[in-house]
Chains A and B, each alone.
Chain A
Amino acid sequence: MTTITKLPDPVAGGSKPQHRGKTLLRAGRGRRLGDLRIALLFIAPAMIGFIFFYVVPTIRGVYLSFTEYNILGDPEWVGLDNYTAIAQDPLFWNSLAVTGQYVLINIALQTALALGLALLMHRVAKSTLIRGALLLPYLMSNVIAALLWFWMLDYQIGVVNQFIEWAGLPRVAFFGSEEWAIPTQALINTWRHMGYTALLIFAGLQAIPGHLYEVAKLDGASAFQTFRKITIPLLRPVLVLVLVVTVIGSFQVFDTVAVTTQGGPVNATRVIQYYIYQRAFTESDFGYGSAIAVILFLILALVAFIQMKFLKGNESDLD
């Protein structure tokens, strides 16, 4: 069995690889038997990360969810107590509702805007500069996006409220009012992700073979027919992937809430991940936090499964 210590660094590997290659591949009894040994060597480092920082914590997380653990002592097995407590915890249900609201607003806006932008770019402008400008917000961290809008949307002297007032409308307490707090968080995230998602869809559009459009044109298809019969079916795998990725990411909103409203006003932005964070780290209730995390995990798995299953995201129509 090869070990990670035998892993050559890129430079050494290039200089005298033949010898190493041979000793490592002695097992090669023809290609039919496969490259298992060399494959194990190649995936060894990634495997370490995979096992110790994904698999073990996943199991431990599930275990912790059945315990009471305040970090100081040892975890104490309490069976389903955390889960029954969660079922009766109004703050949990609130966090679920608030997160759902956030995901809905965010995904609907973001996907619609991104699809529109992608089609616009595909039609009139494919320049890298334009795509770069649209991508800029995505390259900024959530914290930066949050603080930037925290300032622009400030009730007193934020520039947006300045405009709103000029338009003759009453100022909006974007972060301070319960009804606006979640839409505001969703808008910040939409702002940050809109261009990125548009670029993903744009790339999907670019991948559609041009001759299909030419054929459609020759057959006298209208723009709408072309869009429905060619663009959408061939774009479907990309759209599904975009949806899966953005929905999953969206459920895990935390950063923007943590640096702006911190769950408030009242409980208006206490999204799931923020609630987990509070229970586990502020209140040192790791068992309870883990149990909510398990529930979030299950929700995400279910959502992804449904999306992949019903939208057949893993099948491409291009073949």
Chain B
Amino acid sequence: MTTTTSRAPLPAPARRRRPFNPRRAGAWALLVLAIAVSVLPFLWVLRTALSTNGSLASQSASLLPADFTFGAFLRVFGLQSPEDAIAEGGSGAAIDFWLYLRNSLIFSSITTAGAVFFSALAAYAFARLRWRGRNFVFSLFLGTMLVPPIFTALPNFLLIKNLDLLNTMLGMVLPYVFMTPFAIFFLRQFFLNMSREVEEAAMLDGAKHLRIFFQIVLPNAAAPIATLALLTFIGQWNEYFWPLLVGSQEDVRVLQVGLGVFKSQSPQGAPDWSGLMAATLVSALPVLILFAAFGKKIVNSIGFSGIK
């Protein structure tokens, strides 16, 4: 019998319930708390983005938007006249998140496509081909994961500058497009754990490595490659430091950098909170969409599968 029935006399329970287990309930409570902390801030961001700046202070604890308006979103997409923007607590400075959205899409797509494909090739060589120095070269590649991005960022910035590629999309994608150490590591793990049988059968039939790679390994690895592409895309989407260094100008500015600029443009006095939160949501939206569509894939990919 559960403890609740003693307080409120209910009709006899239709089915047996698990006896109340305080430890289990406690575990659930903690889990629910963690979920609330993870998710509720986003609702607060949405609520703020739909509010009018001037009313945020007076209705700071209401769960509903304070004086509902789409003004903040209009402002972020540059659809509001400077006068209206200033009247609603914006800075009035021109800001165009459509452009940043486009730039972010281009930047993330190119780097993801290149890095995933080239890393898959390399990972295959590290996992399935036998050659002298393989493990040594792999450990060198892996060692690059240790190199702090700031360390290579300074010389890479100079390289891109010397190549006259500052503030170009090419300059922004170059360091990422050939590989990422993580992608090689991730796919190598998968290739190592793949069954050799099919490959060996193909090899007995006289198939060589390129054919095996494209006809057997890649199709078999479609799932992890898709996962890797998703993770890489999200990672690139969220990249801030490098685009800040080489892509600060408006025509190649990505969303993350745009957000920082938008924040720093805050008018004197109170910041444009609803505008800032609307911009934040716009920047998060593509990732949220990907997450809604492929959430299961992303979630199940998290883990060091097959560390050996």
Contacts and interface: CB of A to CB of B under 8 A. Distances in A.
Contacts of B149: 252
A290 interface: yes
Interface in A119-139: 120-121, 123-125, 128, 130-137, 139
Interface stretch (A44-52, A88-96, A100-108, A224-232): A44-52
Interface string A115-158: 01100110111001011111111011111100111111010110
B30 A203 contact: no
Nearest to A161: B60
A151 B277 CA distance: 8
A293 interface: yes
B307 interface: yes
Contact of B154 (A42, A64, A117, A206): A64
A199 B302 contact: yes
B155 A64 contact: yes
Residues of B in contact with A, size category: 35 or more
B82 interface: no
Interface string A272-306: 01001100110000100110011011001100100
A159 B154 CA distance: 39
B77 interface: no
Contacts of B245: 281
B237 interface: yes
B174 interface: yes
B102 interface: no
Given A61-B155, A152-B41, A296-B150, A50 B141 contact: yes
Nearest to B161: A71
B284 A140 contact: yes
Interface residues of A, number: 109
A96 B161 CA distance: 30
Closest 4 CB pairs of A and B: A203-B303, A49-B178, A21-B208, A141-B238
Interface of B: 24, 27-28, 30-31, 34-35, 37-39, 41-42, 44-45, 48, 56-57, 60-61, 117-119, 121-122, 124-126, 129-132, 134, 137, 140-141, 144, 146-152, 154-156, 158-159, 161, 174-175, 177-179, 184, 206-211, 213-215, 218, 234, 237-241, 244-245, 256, 259-260, 263, 270, 273, 276-277, 280, 283-284, 287-288, 291, 295-296, 298-300, 302-305, 307-308
Interface of A: 7-8, 10, 13-14, 17-18, 20-22, 24-25, 31, 34-36, 38-39, 41-43, 45-50, 52-54, 56-58, 60-61, 64, 71, 113, 116-117, 120-121, 123-125, 128, 130-137, 139-144, 147-152, 154, 156-157, 159, 162, 191, 194-196, 199-200, 202-204, 206-207, 237-238, 241, 248, 251-252, 254-255, 258-259, 273, 276-277, 280-281, 286, 289-290, 293-294, 296-297, 300-301, 304, 316, 319
